[in-house]
Amino acid sequence: MWIIDKIRKKSQPLEFNLYRFYTEQGNDATIGRLYQKIEHYEKPICYTLERPKYFNGLTNYSDKPNTTINESCCIPAGRYKCEMTYSPRFKKDLYLVLKIKNREGVRLHAGNSINDIEGCIIFGTRLVKNFNGFKYWLADSTKAFNNFYNITQKKPIILNIIDNDQEYILSKITIE
């Protein structure tokens, strides 16, 4: 029976938890920490950065058809399947986050600041405050992203985006 359990576990997608919080009343950035779920353990992978929760009065829960919600706000908390697909914009294979309400084209990719994203999630090994003219900056983004790719090996994954209270998240995040 243990062989069947082992085979079943190998065929299941890797699962990741993204714990995040909103900065400056949700208007500046969304900061997070990505962990790989390994049975009853969470292995830290990298820091993340997304657009703010609020932008020009809109939220990431907006269902207005004529807004630029895809470019304005972070992804709503939830459980998402991600698949490796070709990105015409980046001209390479990247993870695409599937079935986000009223959103499409949301990718996981390398980047350093919110200027590098239009609704996507970027990775870094360190989170730096007030650097290079940005309030929040991710250092060594390519290194963090390559590490993530080495773990996932381009297989489908599950991404759990969890909004938690700021005190709990800050206990998991070091801002330089």
The pLDDT of residue 74 is 85
Do residues 122 and 49 make contact, with C-beta atoms less than 8 angstroms apart?
A: yes
Beta bridge partners of 157: 14, 82
Using CA atoms, how far residue 157 sits from 8, 81, 129, 149, in Å, is 15, 6, 30, 11
Using alpha carbons, list the distances in angstroms from residue 147 to 72, 74, 141, 161.
28, 23, 10, 20
> Residues 175, 74, 119, 37: is their CA dihedral positive or negative?
positive
Q: What is the pLDDT of residue 122?
A: 96
- Residue 33, classed as helix, strand or coil, is strand
pLDDT of residue 111: 95
pLDDT in tens, the chain (176 residues): 445 455 445 568 999 999 988 776 555 788 899 999 998 899 999 999 998 876 555 555 544 444 445 556 788 889 999 999 999 989 999 999 999 877 788 999 999 998 888 889 999 999 998 888 888 899 999 999 999 999 999 999 999 999 875 555 555 556 55
Looking at residue 48, its pLDDT comes to 95
